[in-house]
């Protein structure tokens, strides 16, 4: 069909038909079987017919499509191939996108982090929050040390030097991983970019007795799943990731032992954690109905999450507890992992055998002993956790410390 392409002509165009414009050579409109009308330009280059899409009717008017057709026809008259140029531009854009920092991080997470690293969620969180907004869209070929420095400056100013170094460490691993796969990539990270020293990054925070009492009483006051989890972490010296995903199926029938699977243990080994009477009491305070197997859960359908919000609310209650004793008291920054470190210190204070205490924390013993000694130390670990519970109880009741710990209670059957 031939005729001037107008809105009226388009509305009357049957499905499957093509209307060739009489004003601009090669300018056509065609109605697809679906009813959609597309505009395009048909032309020849080196004896071959080419097609260049100009838009869809409704998004592009007939007059605008005709104007575009005239412009592209002029390019063809100048020995250009607009369709080939568009295809090359798209290919170039795709290639450029595939060589950005975002693409590198996507590949690193997909091929390495999710399959091999226990801290995969933390890697993704840091990349998404701190790296991608700053340098994610940058082509790798254009990335300079200055870009990394400016990103670290921004993170240090807003979130502190420790977070800047954590980001740097994870980004360095991603860059080094990519360098093993790409001939022409040199990571733009060099020595001296860290914002803190090794000594400054080392964590040695433990809670004082006053802080421990405030934390425990705040947990009793709030009685939330998160608060109970903190009490449980102190009594079991476990990591947050180990406790937060705790499931009923991991606790034996009498509730005295907790089997932590290897995929949640830093050692990548199954760990049997004897539960003290005090730890069992904490679990007994949690609602059992509707939790679908999860121990620490707010809605019942999934394990507890959103720790930063829980922690912020919890710290307010801890500060309130401290100020009931001292109106001028301040709460120094502390982390959930500080409870594990505090628990280990209390084991020593209680006079526990250092080797047994390390076993209770799930630490792997190295050397020949680690290879040949397969004893689970179940009884020894149970005594350590009971001693720990007694030491916590002593602190809560403000009983003066003794030279050695009392005989621990016998776990209930």
Three-state secondary structure call for residue 138: coil
Fold of 7-89: Double Stranded RNA Binding Domain (3.30.160)
Angle between helices 307-325 and 209-222 (to 10 degrees): 120
Give the model's confidence band at 372: pLDDT under 50 very low, under 70 low, under 90 confident, else very high: very low
Give the model's confidence band at 292: pLDDT under 50 very low, under 70 low, under 90 confident, else very high: low
> Is the confidence at residue 355, as pLDDT, over 60?
yes
Looking at domain 209-396, its CATH superfamily turns out to be Intergrase catalytic core (1.10.443.10)
For residues 384 and 255, what is the distance between their CA atoms, to the nearest angstrom?
17
- pLDDT mean over 259-282: 91
Chain segment 79-135, per-residue pLDDT in tens: 888 877 777 766 555 444 568 999 999 999 998 888 777 678 889 999 999 999 999
Chain segment 4-34, per-residue pLDDT in tens: 999 999 999 999 899 999 989 899 999 998 8
Angle between helices 161-179 and 101-108 (to 10 degrees): 80
Fold of 101-201: DNA polymerase; domain 1 (1.10.150)
Three-state secondary structure call for residue 126: helix
Chain segment 183-237, per-residue pLDDT in tens: 889 999 999 999 887 665 556 789 999 999 999 999 999 999 999 999 999 999 9
Q: What is the pLDDT of residue 371?
A: 41
- Bridge pairing between strands 18-20 and 27-31: antiparallel
For residues 128 and 383, what is the distance between their CA atoms, to the nearest angstrom?
44
Q: Where are the alpha helices (DSSP H) in 109-238?
A: 114-116, 120-126, 132-135, 145-159, 161-179, 198-201, 209-222, 225-236
- pLDDT mean over 236-256: 92
Burial label, 392 (beta-carbon count in 10 A; 0-12, 13-18, 19+): buried
DSSP 327-371: TT-------THHHHHHHHHHHHHTT--HHHHHHHTTPPP-HHHHH
For residues 303 and 221, what is the distance between their CA atoms, to the nearest angstrom?
22
In contact, 297 and 286? CB cutoff 8 Å: no
Sign of the Cα pseudo-torsion (289, 292, 297, 298, in order): negative
Q: What is the pLDDT of residue 165?
A: 92
- List the chain domain ranges: 7-89, 101-201, 209-396
For residues 255 and 23, what is the distance between their CA atoms, to the nearest angstrom?
86
């Amino acid at each position: 069909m031939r005729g001037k392409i107008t809105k009226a002509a388009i509305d009357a165009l049957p499905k499957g038909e093509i209307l060739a414009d009489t004003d601009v050579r090669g300018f056509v409109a065609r109605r697809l079987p679906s009813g959609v009308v597309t505009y395009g330009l048909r032309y020849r280059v080196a004896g071959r017919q080419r097609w260049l899409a100009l838009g869809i009717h409704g998004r592009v008017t007939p007059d605008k499509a005709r104007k575009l057709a005239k412009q592209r026809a002029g390019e063809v008259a100048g020995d250009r191939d607009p369709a080939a140029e568009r295809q090359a531009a798209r290919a170039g854009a795709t290639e450029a996108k595939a060589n950005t920092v975002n693409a590198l991080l996507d590949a690193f997470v997909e091929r390495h982090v999710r399959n091999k690293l226990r801290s995969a969620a933390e890697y993704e969180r840091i990349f998404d929050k701190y790296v991608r907004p700053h340098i994610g869209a940058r082509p790798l070929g254009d990335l300079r040390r200055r870009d990394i420095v400016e990103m670290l400056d921004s993170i240090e100013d807003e979130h502190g030097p420790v977070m800047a170094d954590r980001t740097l460490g994870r980004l360095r691993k991603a860059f080094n991983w990519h360098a093993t796969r790409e001939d022409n990539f040199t990571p733009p990270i060099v020595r001296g970019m860290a914002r803190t020293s090794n000594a400054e990054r080392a964590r040695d925070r433990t809670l004082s007795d006053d802080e421990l009492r405030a934390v425990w009483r705040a947990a009793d006051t709030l009685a939330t799943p998160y608060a109970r989890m903190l009490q449980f972490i102190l009594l079991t010296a476990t990591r947050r990731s180990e406790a937060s995903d705790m499931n009923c199926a991991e606790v034996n029938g009498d509730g005295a032992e907790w089997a932590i699977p290897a995929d949640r243990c830093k050692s990548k080994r199954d760990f049997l954690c004897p539960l003290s009477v005090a730890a069992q009491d904490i679990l007994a305070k949690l609602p059992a109905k509707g939790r679908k197997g999860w121990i620490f859960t707010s809605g019942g359908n999934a394990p507890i999450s959103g720790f930063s919000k829980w922690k912020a609310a919890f710290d307010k209650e801890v500060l309130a507890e401290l100020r009931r004793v001292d109106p001028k008291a301040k709460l120094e920054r502390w982390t959930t992992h500080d409870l594990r470190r505090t628990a280990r210190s209390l084991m020593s204070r209680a006079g526990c055998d250092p080797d047994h205490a390390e076993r209770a924390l799930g630490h792997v013993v190295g050397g020949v002993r680690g290879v040949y000694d397969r004893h689970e130390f179940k009884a020894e670990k149970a005594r350590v956790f009971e001693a720990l519970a007694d030491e916590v109880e002593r602190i809560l009741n403000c009983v003066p410390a003794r030279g050695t710990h009392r005989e621990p209670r016998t776990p209930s059957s």
